[in-house]
Structure 1
């Protein structure tokens, strides 16, 4: 039953390992395209974006000057929070995938801000088969990310922040969910009234350590890619137009196993040798937001610049509207994101309530 999938993940052939990774994790990020193109790595769900606003702007928000932005993009943005904010987001994806966000952010004292969020991603209706290829049942996967972020403004032009994220992946009921802890650090500099620059390092120390002993498997470690982001934002037309851009340098550690024959006094012996190597990936993002009316914002962006050719791009468009309800400020946002390679559309909606 389920043990076939997990055994293939930790002890089967290379082909089965790749298949299991795609089923368990990679499908959350992009369906049936190649693993590199679709970012089908560990914790891929946590790199799709956070809310309709961020996705519509191509996720180029590391230096976002907005007073209210998800701390996932940079915890150093939290001190700019205008007030207490509760938001909920949901994305409609193809290939039986799902993605939801819950977030709370608030100012803390005169110079600080705090944020708490929960992200869930899953894949449903996975066709489960045994080692003979006979269909056995329908499987599903779930992944969660619980984050606590804090930021402080040390000067009018300088803010620093950090985020602790607890990741959890639940693939099969026979094995306990695996957990990992990641650390983000960010800094933001307000260079001029119009120009803001920022940098962030994300998912330091984050990894999953699998143990499939309950079903006769082995152990395996999957490390999250460490991402270094540098970007800026610039305001035009009395701040009605915002331009954003950033560059991300991504480092991923991989292990490669190979057979080695050693000549000993007792004769030749075959041993398995494990080598570690580092993969580097460079990509860019751009976004623009225009406010034609006080209650309306139009947004657009492009993610994954420099990844493969134009088929690897992730363009997006969206809008946001706001409406006051008594003392409450209600904002609704929508984003349509074209996924790379498979060219299906991710529809994301966000509702924000300012208390």
Structure 2
């Protein structure tokens, strides 16, 4: 390849990286203040290390989360477990099982759970009462259908539940939400995809059991519209996506994410990326347990402003 052409490609990647980082860091706190933030934190260590720029990537063990339409490209059934070790007593875990439905469909089920423990509970006099906790859960069913050999569509349906400690009892918000994806897979690996996340997702709170004049309150999730692509350059695999975040009819945020992965000797992975207001790096290893390369263990380290550092571990298995 011509050196001038290679230099031009690297220059464009560098400029895109700088612009994307500025957009990512300046806007991360905006979307974090809205409902459903735990569904925008990412799942697998591989994805988190690569900036969560996985709209057009097939994430082993967690394909449906970033784009349900990618499920049809699974060659085998897959299971994944991911645990985020976060600061400030926060928790985030994900479990997923996905399987192909021959000849041209796929299905998956997932659980995403987040929470905070050791909250210092106090009464109106400021005296300590007990340690409190809060939790958010999403139970997700995914389906994908291949429309053409290179084109697929997919849907996630999520049952949502948020539990908050209020006075001497818990207040629970419930709701349903959806994701919709389109995936275009090329033979060269330069995929293209569209994802609409949290379409009509919301919590419904009934406060009549807590307050004398309680009422029904609707807490809407922001909706994310993203486009993404993947491509190879030399020995490095890149993933990227960009999009807008809308609350009702108002654009409240923009997102730009980029990730890179280098594979050594077909089994070892070195990764880096940024997105969602954080920088990540990670390592990965796959091996053969029962079949060829059916197991993968991934780790990610991230740094995110006021939220500090986090460690993410993921195990994915094909069967």
User: Which bin holds the TM-score, normalised by the shorter protein?
Assistant: 0.7 to 0.9
TM-score normalized by the length of structure 2? 0.84
| Structure 2 gap segments, 5+ residues each | 1-26
Out of 282, 307, 325, the position equivalent to 2:289 is 325
Quote the Cα distance in structure 1 between the aligned partners of 2:66 and 2:119: 31
Out of 56, 75, 81, the position equivalent to 1:88 is 81
For these two proteins, the number of residue pairs brought into alignment is 288
1:295-339 deviation line (CA, Å, top 9, x unaligned): 1111111003xxxxxxxx301011110111233722100011111
Shift of 1:37: 4.9
Work out whether residues 62 and 96 of structure 2, in 8 Å CA contact, stay in contact via their aligned partners in 1: no
Work out whether residues 187 and 199 of structure 1, in 8 Å CA contact, stay in contact via their aligned partners in 2: yes
Q: Are 2:257 and 1:285 equivalent residues in the alignment?
A: yes
Shift of 1:69: 4.5
Quote the Cα distance in structure 2 between the aligned partners of 1:235 and 1:112: 27
Shift of 1:38: 7.1
- Over aligned residues, Cα RMSD in angstroms? 2.1
Quote the Cα distance in structure 2 between the aligned partners of 1:159 and 1:68: 19
Shift of 1:68: 5.7
Q: Are 2:230 and 1:233 equivalent residues in the alignment?
A: yes
1:245-256 alignment to 2 at 5 Å? 245-253=240-248
Out of 176, 180, 184, the position equivalent to 1:185 is 180
Q: 1:169 to 1:66 in 2, by over 3 A?
A: closer
Quote the Cα distance in structure 1 between the aligned partners of 2:84 and 2:130: 26
Quote the Cα distance in structure 1 between the aligned partners of 2:28 and 2:117: 19
TM-score normalized by the length of structure 1? 0.76
Shift of 1:234: 0.7
Q: 1:231 to 1:351 in 2, by over 3 A?
A: same
1:191-242 deviation line (CA, Å, top 9, x unaligned): 56242111011111111111121122533221000110111111244xx521
Whichever of the two has the greater Rg, that structure is: 1
Greater mean alpha carbon deviation, residues 58-67 or residues 198-207: 58-67
Shift of 1:289: 1.1
| Structure 1 gap segments, 5+ residues each | 1-33, 254-276, 305-312
Q: 1:66 to 1:145 in 2, by over 3 A?
A: closer
Higher relative contact order (CA 8 A, sep 6+): 2
Shift of 1:129: 1.5
Give the equivalent residue in structure 2 for 1:267. Answer: none
Give the equivalent residue in structure 1 for 2:5. Answer: none
1:155-304 alignment to 2 at 5 Å? 155-172=148-165, 174-175=169-170, 177-191=172-186, 193-216=188-211, 218-219=214-215, 220-237=217-234, 240-253=235-248, 278-304=250-276
Give the equivalent residue in structure 1 for 2:111. Answer: 118
